[in-house]
Structure 1
Amino acid sequence: MINKELKTIDTILFDLDGTLINTIELIVASFLHTMEHYYPGKYTREDVITFIGPPLSETFTNLDPSKVEEMTKTYRTYNHAKHDELVKEYEGVYETLEKLEEKGYKMAIVTTKSRGTAVRGLELMKLDKFFDVVVSLDEVENYKPHPEPLEKAMAALQADRSKTLMVGDSKHDILGGKNAGTKTAGVAWSIQGKESLQTYEPDIMLDTMPELLHYLGVE
């Protein structure tokens, strides 16, 4: 299963939500709560799943530009209150990161979440010790799929883009990697579905996180 194109990889950038930590139910519940408040009875679970990926500002601007701050506050208040109750782990993630760290891979988080919420999720799942570099929405002018956040992470890690892999669960991650000149890996547990993510042509598709070790040739 070793991918010859990935054998030179020494740096891995990870998306957070839906990739390393299972925040899907939290995000869906937060969107449903917000939509029910502003648009009673109009939005279903299937509707709000399409909101996952871009920053809240983009989603809420598309709904009502005059209420972006108000809706964001409603969403975040609920999200923060329910965070620790609804966030779950993905099997094999901790062990995979532990092995990558042991083998000397450089790693960073590149997320469209705010820094505080991202760090809270990492700490809750005890993954924070693997990441000295976290590039959140608070540190950039442009978010994925713009290359800026990935380039910022690579600069912090002194990484070569040709030896870097971006791992994520949405088109923003795959296209962000392509725009930044890195290799890309999609995760089959994406809420949008494996087939949908495959249309963006990631270099590899992971059915489980430990598969990443095999692709990299890590024993």
Structure 2
Amino acid sequence: MNQDEGRNEAAADRALHELLTGKRLMAFDLDGTLIDSVPDLAAALVRALDDEGLAVPRQEDVSHWVGNGTRKLVERGLAWALNTPVEAVDETLSARVYAAFMGYYGDAPHRLTRLYRGVAETLYALKDAGFMLVLVTNKPERFIAPLLEHFALNEAFSLCLGGDSLARKKPDPLPLTHAAAHFGVPAGACVMVGDSRHDMAAGKAAGFATAALTYGYNHGEPISESAPDALLDSLSELLSTSARPSSTR
């Protein structure tokens, strides 16, 4: 039996969430979905703000600012430290703090970051069951490979897209439609898995089914308000027929 035949048998025998019926491609968010990265993001932001003599936030504050890429994270942190709207932050100051943040975070992107329970086992089980796995994150592309290699996830994904890989990032559907087109998979055979309203908005706009994790970062809002097709308390529920559908549907 060759590898493909083995995977086909695994797919036939494995109990999977009903959302995955007829699906071929699965796109996953990274921060707040696969990894808890806020400790390292917060540490880098604290150092960058402290360099400017500004007030520094708590990790809980930073968790509410994650989701739209590192530049937006820094802008929100600056706005908080200056007690001013984001659009009123000085561009020169913002650029300086952003450069410092990128340097600090790049030096230690996984010192405090942890992999959520069940993630590695679930991803490789889905891959072995025949699904095409794609990583779609708003994190800059330069940080993806070091994180995946550190957590031994680099062989799980067939394509990885960062927030600067294409002209637009989530919540725009472009990264998802690009991934589907890249592998020649129709949108109706794809699923977006994430933890934020931006993931759900991108998935819906792309015509993907959506699955939302109840943990992670969603600006302090319940992810159920984004009306995903399924709610998951753990990524491993994708491998179970007992996972619950979204109560908002």
* TM-score when normalising by structure 2: 0.78
Q: Which residue of 1 aligns with 2:66?
A: 52
Aligned residue type for 1:159:
V
Q: Counterparts in 2 of 1:99-178, with a 5 A limit?
A: 99-178=125-204
Judging changes above 3 Å, is the alpha-carbon distance between structure 1 residues 216 and 167 closer, same or farther for their aligned structure 2 residues? farther
Max radius of gyration: which structure? 2
Aligned residue type for 2:112:
L
Task: Note the alpha carbon deviations across 1:20-65, whole angstroms, 9 max, x for none.
Answer: 1221211222223333334622633333222100022334453443
Residue in structure 2 matching 1:36, options 50, 62, 77: 50
Q: Which residue of 1 aligns with 2:205?
A: 179
Higher helix share: 1
Contact 1:21 1:90 survives alignment (8 Å): yes
Unaligned runs of 5+ in 1: none
Task: Note the alpha carbon deviations across 1:75-129, whole angstroms, 9 max, x for none.
Answer: 1111122223112111111111111111110110001112120111111101010
Aligned residue type for 2:162:
S
What is the aligned-residue identity percentage?
Answer: 28
Judging changes above 3 Å, is the alpha-carbon distance between structure 1 residues 129 and 3 closer, same or farther for their aligned structure 2 residues? closer
Aligned residue type for 1:148:
L
RMSD: 2.4
* SS of equivalent to 1:143: coil
Contact 1:154 1:161 survives alignment (8 Å): yes
Judging changes above 3 Å, is the alpha-carbon distance between structure 1 residues 193 and 43 closer, same or farther for their aligned structure 2 residues? closer
Contact 2:69 2:140 survives alignment (8 Å): no
Q: Which residue of 2 aligns with 1:21?
A: 35
* TM-score when normalising by structure 1: 0.88
